[in-house]
Copies of this chain bind each other. A is one copy, B any other.
């Protein structure tokens, strides 16, 4: 499957924390650079996400903001 989202960044799952309905999954996309995703517990189960897995962080361009100091 190829997706329209312009940001598909390869990394490694470093943490999976399930909540009551919402899980937080952290992916290391570069040394020391971790991205946090809030997804459904169902998605964690469906993708069998486990610490150490290769995975991608996927973000639609319209969901990216820019900041400057």
Contact = CB atoms under 8 A, between A and B. Distances in A.
Interface of A: 1-9, 13, 17-25, 27, 29-30, 33, 35-40, 42-44, 46-47, 49, 53-69
Most buried by B among A30, A55, A58: A58
B40 A67 contact: no
A14 to B, nearest CB: 12
Tell me what chain A mostly uses at the interface: helix, strand, loop, or mixed: strand
Contacts of A61: 24, 36-38, 40
Contact of A4 (B4, B30, B65, B69): B65
A55 B36 contact: no
Given A17-B21, A40-B36, A64-B35, A69 B54 contact: yes
